[in-house]
Amino acid sequence: MRINQLMLRAAAAHCGRWTAVNQIIRTNSGMAEFREIFSKARHIAIITGAGVSAESGVPTIRGAEGRWRTWKTQDLATPECFSRHPSRVWEFYQYRRELTLNAPPSGAHRAIAECEARLSRQGRSLVVITQNIDELHQRAGSRHVLEVHGNLFQTRCLSCGDVEINHKSPICPSLEGKGSPDPDAPDALIPVKDLPRCDEKGCDGLLRPHVVWFGETLDSQILTKVEKELETCDLCVVVGTSSVVYPAAMFGPQVAARGVPVAEFNTKTTANTPRFKFHFPGRCAETLPAALARHESEII
């Protein structure tokens, strides 16, 4: 994805900080030290990636799981592919929607939601900045969620631009039973007139998933909110992300450049690991609940 101009301006504004980012910060695996910092933090930003949802059974777009039938999912999730093969792309998203609707929030999702609710009663705050489009954070109970890459359960009309929440299963009659990931499954070749259509009076335009596809820029309004959160947080937690997708890969280092502690929870190290104060290896559904559990100093 191209880096949104807003993020380029933000990066320029922080140019002095990026010098500090380039310095290698000692990575610490000490949970006790993290917990002490956590107990004093007033505004926590949690950045989540595909690894959080992978533990719920939702396959990642990238990597070995990043295929649907015989196609790379990165090739399907583009405006060009939707223009050429709208039926195929909608089959793919029908599959993703049904898979996600049946996926339970992971232990990491639940730990984040519980922590947010608990801290809010103490006058503290927690925001989730997620690259995921599956709504599993919201289903777990998180209320303050910024979706950087859009939402699988929203649609946008290509004619009138109307954006609507849509949890229909299937999303339209012609897609019922469609979307099998079997490599031998043929394209359904659904006529465009029978694909999801706009309900706005007098429109009937073709709908597309309201997500950010490869080659598209991110929503500047969402990025403005993200920037504000990154500027004000006093603790940052990066969970289940490979730190290769921009601009989200810049978020953790941007906070670390301010001298704010950043803790990374991931199954393996990433390119950003040396820039963070903490790295906790392992499945985040197992490591995060203990990290975000009630501290003995908290007053309920």
Distance CA 182, CA 164 (A): 30
Instruction: Name the pLDDT band for 130 (thresholds 50, 70, 90).
Output: very high
User: In the sheet where 43-48 sits, what is the strand order?
Assistant: 145-147, 125-130, 43-48, 235-239, 262-266, 278-281
Please indicate if the annotation marks 273 as binding a ligand.
no
For the record, the structure tokens of 193 come out as: 């007139």
59-102+151-211 classified as CATH 3.30.1600.10: yes
Pairing of strands 71-72, 43-48: unpaired
pLDDT single digits (tens) 84-129? 999 999 999 999 999 999 999 999 999 999 999 999 999 999 999 9
Q: Whole-angstrom Cα distance, residue 207 to residue 154?
A: 10
Give ranges for CATH 3.40.50.1220 in the chain: 41-58+105-149+218-299
Q: Over the stretch 137-148, which tens digit does the pLDDT of each residue have?
A: 999 999 999 999
149 catalytic? Reply is yes
Beta-strand relationship, 145-147 and 163-165: unpaired
The pTM for the full model equals: 0.89
Q: Is 284 annotated as a binding residue?
A: yes
pLDDT bracket for residue 60 (50, 70, 90) = confident
User: Does the domain spanning 41-58+105-149+218-299 belong to CATH 3.40.630.10?
Assistant: no
CATH 3.30.1600.10 in the chain, residue ranges:
59-102+151-211
Q: Which two tokens stand for residue 142?
A: 């998180």
Sign for the CA dihedral angle at 165, 3, 57, 293 comes to negative
Residue 298 is labelled as binding a ligand: no
The residue that leads in pLDDT, 45 or 74, is 45
Q: What rounded mean pLDDT belongs to the chain?
A: 90
Does the structure show a pLDDT above 50 at 8?
A: no
SS3 (DSSP) at 275: helix
Catalytic residue among 14, 109, 149, 210: 149
Q: Consult the annotation and say whether 161 binds a ligand.
A: no
pLDDT tier at 62, thresholds 50, 70, 90: low
Helix axes 31-40, 284-292, angle to 10 degrees: 50
* pLDDT at position 269: 94
